[in-house]
Amino acid sequence: MNAPQPLHPGVNLDVTDRKSHEKASEVIFGFWIFLMSDLVLFAALFATYAAMSTQGIAQGPTPSEVFDLGSAFIETLLLLLSSFTFGFAILAMKYSTSRLRLLAWLGVTALLGAAFVAFELHDYYVMIVNNDAWPQTSGFLSAYYLLTGTHAVHVSAGILWMIVLAVQVMTLGPNPLVKLRLLRLALFWHMLDIVWVGIFTFVYLFGVAA
87, 107, 139, 198: residue in contact with other proteins (rule CB under 8 A)? 139
Segment 101-120, which members bind other proteins (CB under 8 A)?
Answer: none
Question: What are φ and ψ of residue 98, in 5° steps?
Answer: -80, 120
Q: Binding other proteins by CB under 8 A: which of 96, 131, 156, 168?
A: 168
SS3 175: coil
Dist CA 128 CA 62 (whole Å): 13
Residues with Cβ < 8 Å from 79, sequence gap 6 or more?
112, 113, 116, 155, 192, 193, 196
**Helices 176-198 and 69-95, axial angle in degrees (round to 10):** 160
Do residues 200 and 72 touch, judged by C-beta distance below 8 A?
Answer: yes
Residue 44 interacts with other proteins (CB under 8 A): yes or no = yes
CA angle 118/121/62 to nearest 5° reads 140
Q: By CB under 8 A, tell whether 148 contacts other proteins.
A: no
Residue 182 interacts with other proteins (CB under 8 A): yes or no = no
Residue 142 interacting with other proteins (CB under 8 A): yes
Closest CA to 39 of 210, 199, 200: 199
**Shorter beta-carbon distance to other proteins: residue 50 or 115:** 50
Q: Is 2 in the site for other proteins (CB under 8 A)?
A: no
Q: Of the candidates 13, 24, 52, 89, which one interacts with other proteins according to CB under 8 A?
A: 52
Smallest distance, other proteins to C-beta of residue 10, A: 16
Binding site for other proteins (CB under 8 A): 25-26, 29-30, 33-34, 36-38, 40-41, 44-45, 48, 51-52, 55-60, 135-140, 142-143, 145-146, 164, 168, 171-172, 175, 177, 181
